Amino acid sequence: MRFILPLLLISLLFSTVTRAQEIRYISDKQLIPVRSGAGNDYRIVNAGLPSGTRLTVKSRSRDGLWAQIATDRGTKGWVRAQYLMKEQPAQNKLEGAIRRAEQATEQQAKLAQEVEALKLERVELLNQITSTGSELGGLSEELTQLRTISGNAVQLDVDNRRLLQEAEGLRSQVETLESENQRLMDKLESEDFLNGALAVLLGVIITLVVPRLWPKRRRSSSWA
């Protein structure tokens, strides 16, 4: 018997409430008082939850008139179940829709500003592309000129090398001619010397030999 009475009390306590975990919202009534127990005789622990407050239903009273709740901000207690709704009140939905519309409007305005900024960037990019195209055209002309100059420089280098080779050949020819000239000069000097020597020798021979070749005149005798 000692164990039966506590069990009956526990079962009676659990029978007074129905346990459930449900999400509910305060209805369109502006303020709903929260009490410490399932009845109007219990003290008020919160003066009133505003319409649209999101809360979790922990359990219900046996008669179903009261619900034990807990809000997201930590408020706990009992409220009249008739003020609870499964969905948000129309006013809250409207306010939410208005906020979403305002956010969408703001986002649209931001997007419009971004679009305008992108348009300006596009115009700037087009101008840069045009300017870059002009610069590329100028660079192409300069490159063509540089190629022409480079080609002329290459040709000049080839001509310069050819002229250097020709000059070197002519220098060799000049040196050869100078050597040949010197040799001829030496030869002429030798021949002149020989000719002079021969002339002198011939003069000596003539001086010595010719008088001997002439017959001597006989002297006339005084006795004749």
**What is the model's pLDDT at position 217?**
57
Rounded distance between C-alpha atoms, residue 50 and residue 89, angstroms = 11
Show the 3-state SS of 119-158: HHHHHHHHHHHHHHHHHHHHHHHHHHHHHHHHHHHHHHHH
**What is the model's pLDDT at position 11?**
52
**What is the model's pLDDT at position 18?**
46
pTM (predicted TM-score) = 0.34
Rounded distance between C-alpha atoms, residue 203 and residue 196, angstroms = 10
**Mean pLDDT, 10 residues at a time, over the chain (224 residues)?**
50 48 66 88 88 87 91 90 79 67 86 89 87 81 79 79 85 85 81 78 75 60 47
Q: How many CB atoms are located within 10 Å of the residue 38 CB?
A: 23
Cβ-contact 49, 89 below 8 angstroms: no
**What is the model's pLDDT at position 103?**
86
Give the type of residue at 102: E
Q: List CB contacts of 103: < 8 A, sequence separation 6 or more.
A: none
Question: What is 13-88's CATH number?
Answer: 2.30.30.40
**What is the model's pLDDT at position 76?**
92
Query: Where exactly are the structural domains of the chain?
Result: 13-88
